[in-house]
Amino acid sequence: MNAPAPAPATADLGDPATFAGHDLDGFWRTLRDTAPLHWNPPADGRRGFWVLSRHESIMAVYRDDANFTSERGNVLVTLLEGGDAGAGRMLAVTDGHRHHELRKILQRVLSPRVLDEVARSVRANTRRWIREAVESGGCDFAAQIAARIPMTTISNLLGVPEQDQEYLLSLTKAALSADHEDVDEVDSEMARNEILMYFMDLVEERREHPGEDVISMLVASSIDGVPLTDEDVVLNCYSLIIGGDETSRLTMIDCVHTLAARPEQWQRLKRREVAVETAVDEVLRWASPTMHFGRSVRRETELHGVRLRPGEIVTLWHASGNRDERVFARPERFDLGRTPNKHLAFGYGPHFCVGSYLAKVEIAELLTALRDFTTGFEQTGPARRIRSNFLTGFSTMPVRFEPDRAGLEGAG
């Protein structure tokens, strides 16, 4: 059971243990009401940083690339270390003209039109794996389904061999979060480096033997007439594999955890009283798997009456903005029919998640398969939370399914 929310003066949002051991809803509500720009002081050798908790303010900073930059890191783990090695080369930590041109390259292979065939594959895989789980009675949903759908999808796009996907999944889990307390920052840094080295080998191979995958496309791309370097390609593969796996996987696990505890919402979906597309947005708002992103102050500016100095860190907390009473009616209620739903799960502005369409397809196909093949489900044991100051969710989720015989015997 989680402990009560800490007082703003004592909570350290740089410490993963803060999120593992507390229910922070009350903490975020206090900040939104009384300190929408809150100072998280230095602790345990880490720098201090600013915390934005209101939806409107978060969106304003996301839009403002004149006063705020991503090029010194966009998550606490790199911001607090003084910078990101991918700055100016990896889409997520590149601004301005180069960001615009790099984004155009990636959007060519991640647009809805291009991803039609990929979406069909997602549907077929998801329905097959859910059918198998329902017919067997149950499974660890996190390991046997949620871990497979996004990793298989993004790996196929990148051209990662099937035999390497389990290895890559273990690395992405360790890179920005951990399943156990004994995984420390050194382990996480090693995992990030191993992902980079893995893709360096793949890039060298694609230069010799190009295919139809995203890596081959990146290898053949250029910006302003200058070809992307091996390092450029590797860094963006790293970003795609991390982003393509973590957000969808953790959202799917949270979705099953939440629906199992709220049978009335499950029945709305089962009876087709809510559209799957509408439900997907609420599932994303509720899970908010990426708790924050960050920016560095580029030039002196003001927020909520506070003067911010160049070089200071400002963190934008989706975990709070997606529960902001100023934007969402009864935000503490999980409502699959919620509309409008201006959630921040994919960020906002110039850095809006380039893979958002694919993530929505994956979650929609999961909800559709659950609706079609089971009459209900229940969590059969405790779920283990991950440890992270960036991501939130579960690493295990034991579930038992009640089969829908008519659905199983009908369309595949």
| pLDDT tens readout for residues 10-39 | 789 999 989 986 789 999 999 999 999 999
- The domain locations on the chain are 27-142+248-399
For residues 355 and 109, the answer to whether their CB atoms sit within 8 Å is: no
Cis peptide upstream of residue 403 (ω within 30 degrees of 0): no
Nearest to 16 by CA among 168, 146, 174: 174
For the beta carbon of residue 336, count every other beta carbon within 10 angstroms: 24
DSSP string for 228-287: PPHHHHHHHHHHHHHHHHHHHHHHHHHHHHHHHH-HHHHHHHHTT-S-HHHHHHHHHHHH
What fold, for 27-142+248-399?
Cytochrome p450 (1.10.630)
Tell me the whole-structure pTM to 2 decimals.
0.94
Amino acid symbol at 216: S
pLDDT tens readout for residues 255-312: 999 999 999 999 999 999 999 999 999 999 999 999 999 999 999 999 999 999 999 9
Q: How far apart are CA 253 and CA 169, in angstroms?
A: 15
At residue 307, the pLDDT reads 98
Torsion sign, CA atoms 355, 83, 343, 272: positive
> Are 254 and 283 a contacting pair, CB within 8 Å?
yes
Q: Can you spell out the DSSP letters for 318-361?
A: HHHHTT-TTTSSSTTS--TT--S----TT--GGG--TTHHHHHH
106: helix, strand or coil? helix
How much is the CA Rg of the chain, to the nearest whole Å? 21
